Every structure is written in C-alpha cells, then in structure tokens.
Amino acid sequence: MSVFLLQRLGQALVAIFGVMTLVFFIQRLTGDPTYLLVPETATQEDIEAMRRTLGLDQPLLMQYLDYLGDMLRFDLGRSFVQNVAVTEIIASRLPYTLQLAGGALLVALVIGLPVGLALAIWRKHRSTNVLMGFVLGAQSMPTFWSGILMIMVFGVWLGWLPPSGSGSLSHLIMPSIALGLLSMATYARIARSSVLDELSKDYVRSARARGVGTGRLVGKHLLRNSLIPVISISALEISQLLAGAVIVETVFAWPGLGQLTVQSVQSRDFVVVQGIVLLGALVTIGVNLIADILYSVVDPRIRKGDGA
Amino acid sequence: MSAVMANWRRLFVPGEGKGVPVGIFVAIFAALVLVAIFAPLIAPYDPNTQNLLGRLKAPGTEARGTYYLLGSDELGRDLLSRVIYGARISLSVAILSVLLSGCVGTALGMLAGYRRGWVGIVVMRLVDIFLSIPAILLAIIMVAVLGPGFVNVVLVLALTRWPRYARVAYGQTLSVAGQPYVRLAKAMGAGPVRMLFLHILPNIIAPIAVVATLEFGLMVLFEAGLSFLGLGVQPPMASWGAMLSVGRNYVSNAWWIATFPGVCLFLLVLSVNLIGDRLSDYLNPKSR
Amino acid sequence: MTRTTLACGVAFAALFAAGGALAQDFTVNLVNEPSSLDPHMQWNPDSYYVYRNVFDNVVTRDDAGEIIPQIATAWEQVSETEMVLTIRDDVTFHDGEPLTPEDVVFSVERITNPDFGSPQLGQFNSITGAEVTGENEVTLTTDGPYPVLLAQLVKLSVVPQHVVEEVGDEAFNAAPVGSGPYVFEEWDRGVAVTLSRNEDYWGEAGPFETAEFLAVPDASTRVANLRAGTADLIVSLDSDLAMQIENAQGVQVLRAPTERVGFMGMNTTRPPLDDPQVRRAAAMAVDREGIVAGILAGGEQQVGQMATPAHFGYVEGVEPIPYDPEAAAEIVEETGAGDTPMQFATSPVFDQRIVQAIQQMLSEAGFDVEISMTDMSTYLQKARAPEQTERPYFSFGRWSCACQDVDGVQFPLLHSSSSWSRVNDPELDALLETGRSSLDDEERLAAYTEVQSIVQDNAYILPLYQAVAIYGAAGELEWTPTANESLFLNRMSWSE
C-alpha cells in the first residue's frame, strides 16, 4: 500500500512539474508583454530596454533555469505589469474566488438535490419531467447572456440587488446563481440515481413493509446515505468551479482568480499565469490523487495494474 | 439487431413515467440541423451585406428595400439570414470538436486502460496536465501561434476536452478488460488493434456516447464563451454565440439582436442535453 | 461534508454592509484596475485616470487645451536646448513636506534614468539634464532642439524625493504620496482604489470627499451600474451603448472631441499595396461619411489628414481623397489587386463595427480582405514586427500622443524608423525630422504642410475621423471632458 502511495505521489509531482514546464514554454511562444507595457510612441530601442529590465532578453533556457531555482526556494516571482509579488496578487483574489465557488455550490446543491430527490421518489409522475427540463434549461444558456439579463432585471429595473462588484453578501447573490446554475443538473442527476439506488435496497423495503412513511424514510435514511456520492462529486465540481468562473467574474466585475487569469494571459504577465496555473494544478491533481487513492482502497485491482 | 431497434424506439417514445418526452427535442434538433444544411436556400438575404443606414431596425421593418423579419443588427445586416447561417457555424464547431476530442480521448483512454503500466501512467498524467491548464491560455496560444479562425476554435475545444473522454474510456476499459471473454480473445491470439477495436470498443461505446452528447451542448456554450472573449470565429462570419455576445450590449435598445440567436442556441443546447439525459437513463439500468 | 460546510461558511463570511451612494462619495467605473499608481511607471488610461488626481504635473492643460501653469508657474526657452522653469513655492505634499525645485529635478532624473526602467522613458529621454539653477528655478537641458518639450511636461508628475528615497519604489507604488487635489487612501488589489479630498490643496479643491475607482471590464455592466446608481461616472463606451444611456432616466452622456485620429493603415511595402494606385483605390473604397454618420453619430468629424484642429501642425483647407467606389473597383480590376488575399489585423479593443464595415467596403471594391482578430498582445506583435514588410496589410487604429502636436502622431506612423510605420519614403522622413527638431513654428508648419501633400498624393495612410471620447455620468454631474482624456476630479461638480 505505502509503495503504491509513494509511486502515485511521485507521479503527481511529476505531473505538476510537467504542467509548469509546459506552461512556461508555451506561454513564451505567444510573444512577450513589452509591447503592452511601453507607450505607443516607444521606439524599438525603448522596447529592447524594457525587455532587458524584465529579464526577457536572456536565452529561454537561462530563464527556465532561473524559474526552476526560484520555484525551489518557493519564490513565485513578481508580476511584470504590476511589479508586485505574485503570491500577494493571488492571495488578494483567492478569498473572492472561494466565496463565489461556495455560493455557486450552495445554489447548485439547494436546487439540484431536492430536484434529484423529487425525480427519484415521484418517478412515476410525468410532471417531474418538467423539473428535469428546468435544471437542464438552466445550464443551456451562455452565462454572459443570462448574467446580463439578471443584471438588467434585478440590478437596473427592479433595483433589488447591486448590478455588479463585490463587498457585501448582496453582491454575491447574482454571480453565485449564474455560476451555480451550470452544475445544478449534475447534482440533480447524481442525487436521483443515488436515491434510486438506495430505494432498491433491502432496508428501505423492510421499512416500507413496516409502514414507515415516505417523509420519514427520506428524512431519516435516504438523504444521509445518498449524500456520499454527492460529496465525492463536489470535490471535482469545486475544481471546475474555480476554473469555470472566468466569464461570470468578467460580467459581474467580481475580483476573483478567473478575471485575473484572463487579464494575465492577455497581458502576457507570464509570472502571474504561472502562479495561477500552479495553484490550479495543485488543486486538480491533488483531488485526482485523493480520488485515485480512495478507489484503490475500494478496488485493489487498480493498484496492482497501475503499479506494474 | 431488431431488439436494439426496438429499444431505440423506446428511447424516443415517452413510456409510462419514464424520463422526459424527448421526441419533440429530437425534432427540434433535426430541424436546426436541416436549417444549417439548407441555409443558402432558406436565408432571404446575404448574411454579410451591410446597410449602415439600416442599423438596429426593429423586427418587421423595412429599410432601403430590405425587409427585416427579425430586425437588423449593429451593421444593418438581416438578422434572420445571420441566424440561419449562424446555425452552420455553431453546429459544425460543436460536431467537429466533439468528434475530434472524442476520438482522440477515447483512443488514448482505451490504450491506457488496456496496456496499463507506463503507457497508462503517461496518458493519465497527461490528462491531469491538460486539465490543469486554463482553457483561455490554450486558446490564446493557439491564436498567437497558428492564427485565428474556425479551424483553431475546433482545435482549442478538442485540446481542452479530450481528457474527459480519456478518463471515461480508461475506467471502462479497465473493467471490460477483466471480463472472461476479453481474456479469452486475448488468449486466442488477437492482436492489440483487433482487441481494442473489436472487443473493447463495442463494450464501452455506450457511456462514451452519453458523454459525447452532453459534451456537445457544452461545446456550443464554450464556443460562445470564446466569442465573448474575442477568440471565436472571425467576423463577419458569425456563430450564434458571437451574435449573442455582441447583442448583449443592446439588451435595452435592440433586444432582438441577442434574443433570436440566444433562443436558437438555448433550444439547441437544451434539446441535446435532454437527449443526452434520456440516453444515459436508457443505458443505465439502475435509473430505469 | 466538511468541505461543503466550509465552502458555505466562506460564502456567508462576506460582509453584509452595502454602500449607500452619498453625493460625497464619488464612484468611477474603469475598465481594468490601474496597473500602477506610481506616475513614473505605467502610462495607460486606467492608471492615469487615478494618479493624475494624486499628483500635480509640471504644467497642465485647461479645458480648452491650452498649456497653463501647475507646478511650474512660468517657463522660458533660454537657448535651443535649455528651458528654465519657475517652480511654485507654496505647494506641499500630502505628508506636509513642501514641494521643492529639488523634487522636480529628482522627478526628471528618476523617469529618465534607464536603470529605473520606466515604460515612459521614450517620451522623456530627450531631456539630458535637470538642475536647480536658482531659488525656485529649474533648468532642463535637451539633447537638441525639442519643440514638444513643454507638451511632454504636461505628462510629467512631480513625486516627493524624500518619500521615494525613504520607502523605495515598490512601497511608493503601493502607497503613493503626491501633492494633488486627492490623497491616496487605499488600494484594495483587484477591487478598488480609494482617494480622499486634500483639504489643504493649493489650487481648486475637489467637490467630493472621497472617490472610488472600480474595475468593471464589461461595458454593458458599466452601463448597468450607472443606470442603477452604483456608479457616478463610467468610461470607454461606444456610440450604441451611449444611446442606451441617452434613453434612460437620471443619467447623461458626456462627449468630448479628442485628439485621437481614427485611421486605416496600409502596408506600403507589401504588394499589391506598394502600388500608389492600389492604395488610392483602397482609400476611395472607404465611405467615411457612412462610418461617421451611420455608425458613430456622436459628433465625430471626418478628417483628411493625420491631425485634428486641436493639434499643432494641422493644415487648414485640406481636401481628402474622395469616396468613389466605382473608380476604386475599376482600379482593382485593372491592376489585379484583388488576386492577393490580404489580412485586416485587429483586436477586440478596436471598434469591431468599424473594422467590419471597412472590410465589407474593401471587399465590395474587389479586394480580397479577411479580418484577422487576435488578442491585443498578438496584434501588437504583428503591428510592430521588426521587419516592415511583416507588418499587417491593413489595420484600423485611433492614435493619440496626448501631446496635441502632429509630431506625436505622424512621426510614429509614417517615419521609416518607427516600429509602427509601414511607409518608407526618405523625402517624408526628412520633413518629419525637420518638424521634430525645429524650434521655429513657421518652419515646422511648412514642413507638415509638405508632409500632408506627400501623404495624400501617395495615399500612404487613410485618415478617417477625429474621435470623440464618450463617458456616461450621473445626471447631476457637471463636467467638461477634455481632449487629452484626463479625468480631473477637481474640475467636476454637482449641479444644484
């Protein structure tokens, strides 16, 4: 077991190293930030001078070695554009990203789970189909459209919520809904299938035979037992939510990592992009690693095969 | 074979309390595909002809000899014609990217699950790596290196989505490869290509098909997102997503620009999602 | 389970307090957050909209665009290469220390020091020396005659030597100290910059107690914020978004003709555009009237030269190349120019309505032009490629040097040495150099008149229109936006 663990951990580290190396080099295929940093009137010499200041005149391999050295010292570097430490920039954005991801998850769970439950329990009723149509419909609109419609209706015409920005709970509501709608259907599906799964089990049947009512059955047993797959999918959904917020954050001027990613990629702020990707890789690959380890506990065949 | 056909019919005819009545959505999807195929025959005008004096005309108005049934856009182009031609772009981007990412992802996933060992490790860690790179970064890199355009939108989408298929194919292959009949075939000397395509693929194609249908809707939305970020197909060519991302700037003074392509896009994604949902119910006996 | 609870907890941890909009708190929506608040670092609108309120410049421009005193009360060109500035003696920085001639010298030396690596270096590197030459007197030396020096000093902010040297460049950027009408309060990274009124300002104090600058990247969201009352002033709008504001209650559109010139650039070194006839055809194919009246319709003026009446060097009475699509089509037909596929390079920041309109007009004349839209950085890499012949066939731009002098427009776009130029004409180069180095206004004007006729005869570039800056504002705001696109809070007020 521990050998497998170590191997799998080693692989994860190699994968993270791979991501960082790949991102380092492919970013530099896209040119460099100097043209965006200098004013329009800058001459070719000014541009060269700017490149020297940023250290971008060095051979690529030297830059890479420098980067690796910094990584080993846990130094993520400084932003080209803002001239501020990357860790500071990311740390200022992270709370907003977590708030938004949390809000979105809440929306998805609060709507998705009951819908899934209803679909499973009243599966004989045709009317529940409307519910599924609703959750599927909610994820069939591009967020930049549903976002601006929400802003116009609730922010401008009704004036119930601030149209955009951050700073209070009321600011968080619309972006959370816009983002949460996307994963609502996933939860509804999982909740439905896991409740159906539970319903077919012996303890449910015997409880029913003893005359336990549906309400009590759901409250006492079903919900708790069918939550396990929901939680395990949430781990994956969270890393999706962290990444998927790019458009929602842009539309709602929400100062999270999604907006930062777009801006940094577009302004060729390589160092910031590397920092964001590293964080993303740690989360994504970390979650995968945990999932793999859990599976291997459940199903030892995987362990044997993978290690061979 | 006839049993399969019967099952397929059951899939689309609403049975007692089973899933969503999906026939109507199949019809919508088919109608949109037909619109895309026959766009030049249906569209009343050239979708790219501008009329700077006929900008932002409301539906049902006429300007300089052009009758704008669905109104005109920000450059005085006929919105109906653009929506009709937009079907081509939106559908073909989605179909091509699903095919490309599906084939690549499935092939790699099967290979990883079948060979395991270092091949499996390399492929699955590659999956991790690709999942960790933000799609927007890949999109900008493709545009910077290869130039913008239709083909690159498809490539970007395929490049970011193949890991999804690879994971499913990998997991399915692992479980199928342990089955006695597969072992038997291997013992009888079937080569790897034969094994993969004749014995494993047919047994894992169903879940892959479900993933592909759900991905199809996502691809339509992703393409729209790329257009919103200015990385989509090149103007004046327009997908529904591109029209929508322009039209959203006009919600309060020219609502039609966003609404018509938006509704089409919504119907397309919704119908594909519902078909996918039904398909997954059908293939997953537990939820029946 | 714990993971979910944690996430919910974080969501609820957000503050409840929503800000009520008081007239004393002024909220501005920018596109992005400032990249720097150190006025000697980045020079882009989102940065200088903010820091120009924190710092005073050596000189400034009034609402009519005339150069007027700010930190320098008087200036005198004492020789071809020397200018003497008289410095105000009653200005204090926000920390209470007086602003001295030494601070002015320090500011000049800081921004021109190559080791400091200011992106603005190119605007000031003609200044080779600055020294205190008397009580309240600073003498600037240039490397040669430099007629636009004063216009450049409009953009040179004065920073306090004692603060910069004490805290270092980095801490100064994080918490800048200036002498302007507003005091830096807080920079909540990625969210907002807050300024408060400088009650001891030597000049006209600002009307608002505090001002907050927020980054709102999406234009329709900015409009929604304004209409909902959560923003008092929003920037970067196009004419169609302005129309939405005009139709709404309680908000207004403010427009100002700028010194920006909209133009279509052509690569005169790449066939078929190396043929003057073909370039003329492209120029004749473009319907400027259609663009200005049909799409923009916000008071933009067509121009026939790469200058606006606000520029020094504007030539009176120029007749532009006429719009004649039939003649254009004939030339394209005769020369076979339509056989070469050409790209129209652009990026989302440019008005795509105009780009698409021009592309359509060129196509109708028979050119084979396709739009190639990439992100800004990729676009710039092409537009400023080291080899002239690699720069794009066609492009659309809106150029401003923020100096109101044609040298700042025409030299970078037309002189063969510039990284933007797609023109290679020694005669033109010589004239542009004369215009850049002569101190005699008449001689300069003569040179630019000559430049204009060469550019037009050869159809080197197609000037389109003088751009108008569009702002959305709360209905009660009184403010006259200026041609150089600055956002001085102390020149605004609330109407009664």
d(Cα B99, Cα B162) in Å, to the nearest integer? 10
Interface test with B, best of C31, C295, C358 (most B CBs within 10 A): C295
Angle among Cα C488, C492, C493 to the nearest 5 degrees reads 155
Residue with structure tokens 């702002």?
C471
pLDDT at C20: 37
pLDDT at C456: 94
pLDDT at B6: 46
Determine the average pLDDT of the residues in B84-104: 96
Instruction: Compare all CA atoms of chain A with the CA of B240 and give the residue at the minimum distance.
Output: A142
For residue B159, the domain's CATH number is: 1.10.3720.10
Whether residues C274 and C414 share a domain: the answer is yes
Q: Is residue C153 part of a domain?
A: yes
Phi/psi for C466 (5° steps) reads: -90, 120
Q: Is residue C130 part of a domain?
A: yes
Interface of C with B (CB under 8 A): 219-220, 240-241, 243-244, 247-248, 287, 290-291, 294-295, 347-348, 352-353, 355-357, 359-360, 370-375, 377-378, 381
Is the distance from CB of B197 to CB of B114 less than 8 angstroms? no
Q: Which of A244, A289, A17 is nearest to B160 (CA)?
A: A244
Share of chain C above pLDDT 90, in %: 72
For residue C355, the domain's CATH number is: 3.10.105.10
Look at A258-272, B191-205, C27-41 and tell me which has the smallest mean pLDDT. B191-205
Q: Which residues pair with C84 in a beta bridge?
A: C76, C139
Would you tell me how many other CB atoms lie within 10 Å of the CB of residue A208?
13
Q: Could you say which of C165, C187, C209 is where a domain stops?
A: C165
Look at A219-228, B140-149, C81-90, C468-477 and tell me which has the smallest mean pLDDT. A219-228
Q: Which of C400, C407, C467, C488 is nearest to C63 (CA)?
A: C488
d(Cα B24, Cα A51) in Å, to the nearest integer? 60
d(Cα C282, Cα C260) in Å, to the nearest integer? 22
Q: Is residue B118 part of a domain?
A: yes
Whether residues C265 and C380 share a domain: the answer is yes
pLDDT at A305: 44
Q: Is the pLDDT of residue B36 over 90?
A: yes
CB contact under 8 A, B262 and A19: no
For residue C150, the domain's CATH number is: 3.90.76.10
CA distances from C237 to A165, A248, B9, C135, C383 (A): 19, 21, 54, 47, 25
Q: How many CB pairs under 8 A join A and B?
A: 152
A136 vs B contacts (CB less than 8 Å): 270, 273-274, 277
d(Cα B110, Cα C93) in Å, to the nearest integer? 70
Interface test with A, best of C27, C230, C391, C420 (most A CBs within 10 A): C230
Among A142, A276, A281, beta carbon nearest to B224: A142
Is the distance from CB of C138 to CB of C132 less than 8 angstroms? yes
Q: Which of B276, B286, B277 is nearest to B213 (CA)?
A: B276
The three-class DSSP label of residue C192 is strand
Q: Is the pLDDT of residue C17 over 50?
A: no
CB contact under 8 A, B252 and C378: no
pLDDT at C485: 83
Q: Is the pLDDT of residue C4 over 50?
A: no
pLDDT at B288: 42
Residue with structure tokens 């800048």?
C176
Q: Could you say which of C136, C165, C194 is where a domain stops?
A: C165
Helix B117-132 to helix A2-28 angle (10° resolution) is 50
The ipTM (two decimal places) reads 0.85
Is the distance from CB of A271 to CB of A86 less than 8 angstroms? yes
Residue B287's pLDDT band, with cuts at 50, 70 and 90, is: very low
Interface of A with B in 224-253 (CB under 8 A): 243, 246-247, 250
Q: Is the pLDDT of residue B242 over 90?
A: yes
Q: Is residue C53 part of a domain?
A: no
Domains contained in chain B, number = 1
Strands C394-399, C72-79: pairing is: unpaired
Determine the average pLDDT of the residues in C352-375: 94
Q: Is the pLDDT of residue C21 over 70?
A: no
pLDDT at A201: 75
CA distance C204 to chain A (A): 30
CB contact under 8 A, A137 and B266: yes
d(Cα A191, Cα A118) in Å, to the nearest integer? 9
A partners (3+ CB pairs within 8 A) are B, C
pLDDT at C461: 96
d(Cα B183, Cα B185) in Å, to the nearest integer? 5
Would you tell me how many other CB atoms lie within 10 Å of the CB of residue C147?
20
Q: Is residue B44 part of a domain?
A: no
pLDDT at B15: 43
pLDDT at A236: 65
Look at A92-106, B171-185, C168-182, C374-388 and tell me which has the smallest mean pLDDT. B171-185
d(Cα B74, Cα B104) in Å, to the nearest integer? 40
Whether residues C436 and C485 share a domain: the answer is no
Whether residues C179 and C155 share a domain: the answer is no
d(Cα B270, Cα C5) in Å, to the nearest integer? 32
| C156: containing domain | 59-165
pLDDT at A300: 60
Domains contained in chain C, number = 3
Write the DSSP assignment of C24-60 as a string of letters.
TEEEEEESS--S-SSTTS--SHHHHHHHTTTS-BSEE
d(Cα C94, Cα B123) in Å, to the nearest integer? 60
B partners (3+ CB pairs within 8 A) are A, C
CA distance A258 to chain C (A): 12
Q: Which of B146, B271, B164 is nearest to B220 (CA)?
A: B271
d(Cα B41, Cα B39) in Å, to the nearest integer? 5
Residue B1's pLDDT band, with cuts at 50, 70 and 90, is: very low
Helix A169-199 to helix B256-283 angle (10° resolution) is 20
Whether residues C308 and C428 share a domain: the answer is yes
d(Cα A71, Cα A272) in Å, to the nearest integer? 13
CB contact under 8 A, A306 and B241: no
For chain A, the domains span 92-252
d(Cα A260, Cα A256) in Å, to the nearest integer? 7
Q: Is residue C49 part of a domain?
A: no
- CATH topology for A92-252 is MetI-like fold (1.10.3720)
Phi/psi for A38 (5° steps) reads: -85, 150
A273 vs B contacts (CB less than 8 Å): 137
B2 touches chain C (CB under 8 A): no
pLDDT tens per residue, range C376-417: 888 998 998 889 999 999 999 999 887 888 998 999 999 998
Would you tell me how many other CB atoms lie within 10 Å of the CB of residue B126?
17
pLDDT tens per residue, range C37-79: 999 987 788 899 999 999 999 999 988 888 999 999 999 999 9
d(Cα C461, Cα B137) in Å, to the nearest integer? 35
Is the distance from CB of A150 to CB of C220 less than 8 angstroms? no
Is the distance from CB of B62 to CB of B68 less than 8 angstroms? yes
Q: Tokens in use for C217?
A: 């990247």
Whether residues C144 and C155 share a domain: the answer is yes
Q: Is residue B24 part of a domain?
A: no
Residue with structure tokens 């800081």?
C110
CA distance B248 to chain A (A): 6
Among A41, A84, A92, beta carbon nearest to C123: A41
Angle among Cα B84, B238, C217 to the nearest 5 degrees reads 135
Interface of A with B in 104-123 (CB under 8 A): 123
d(Cα B210, Cα C425) in Å, to the nearest integer? 63
pLDDT at A239: 66
| B100: containing domain | 86-287
A82 vs C contacts (CB less than 8 Å): 35-36
Residue C19's pLDDT band, with cuts at 50, 70 and 90, is: very low
Q: Is residue B7 part of a domain?
A: no
3-state helix, strand, coil in chain A (%, to 5): 80, 0, 20
pLDDT at C422: 95
C113 CB-near residues (< 8 Å, 6+ apart): none
Type of residue numbered B285: P
Whether residues C231 and C334 share a domain: the answer is no
Q: Is the pLDDT of residue C5 over 50?
A: no
Q: Is residue B207 part of a domain?
A: yes
Residue B2's pLDDT band, with cuts at 50, 70 and 90, is: very low
Q: How many CB pairs under 8 A join B and C?
A: 74
From first to last of the 308 residues of chain A, give the pLDDT tens digit: 578 788 888 888 888 999 999 999 988 888 888 888 887 777 778 888 888 888 888 898 999 999 999 888 888 888 888 888 999 999 999 999 999 999 999 999 899 888 888 888 887 777 777 888 888 888 899 999 999 999 999 999 999 999 999 988 999 999 999 999 888 888 888 888 788 777 777 777 777 777 777 677 766 667 766 676 776 677 667 667 766 688 999 999 999 999 999 889 888 999 999 999 999 888 878 877 777 777 677 666 554 444 33
d(Cα A186, Cα A132) in Å, to the nearest integer? 11
Write the DSSP assignment of C377-417 as a string of letters.
HHHHHHHT-SSGGGS-SEEEEEE--SS-BTHHHHHHHHSTT
Write the DSSP assignment of C259-284 as a string of letters.
EEEEEEEE-TTSTTTTSHHHHHHHHH
C135 backbone φψ class: left, alpha, beta (φ>0; ψ -120 to 50): beta
Whether residues C446 and C482 share a domain: the answer is no
